[in-house]
Structure 1
Amino acid sequence: MRGEGKILLGSISQCVHEYGLKFTQLSYYVLEMVANTWRRMSGKETMLTGGMDIARLMIHMQHAEDDDQKAMKDY
């Protein structure tokens, strides 16, 4: 019984270690992803007029992307 616990604990420890390594590898990309998203959106915010807000712009962009995807599917 005691031996089984050690094997299970070793397995969990290995999973946690692998998860930590994967998290560290992926964390390098987070700053780049945020910077790219900010860079894409910062230009669009300057196009807003007095009556528009960022929520309306985001909804408009989502509809435009959906329309583009639908057009590509139909093509």
Structure 2
Amino acid sequence: MHVCRSVGLPEEIAHICMGHSLEGAHVGHSTECFIIRQADHAWWHVAAALGLCDPDTIAFAGTSLRVRPVGES
């Protein structure tokens, strides 16, 4: 939040930046933040399912996000 505010972003945008990450799971979310959070997480799940992610880059997500090579069912 501090970094966002220090570069002049409005508080509403800083809240979305802070709340959309995994660390933001413990913060109350505005409607806008919830939409961005869900869209971001969905994108990563789709990208992983399509084999677009390197497994080493998504290890932070634990078992909730698995990389599947293209063509594997």
Common fold by TM > 0.5? no
TM bucket (normalised to shorter chain) is 0.3 to 0.5
Higher fraction of helix: 1
TM-score (norm 2): 0.33
Q: Which has the larger radius of gyration?
A: 1
TM-score normalized by the length of structure 1: 0.33
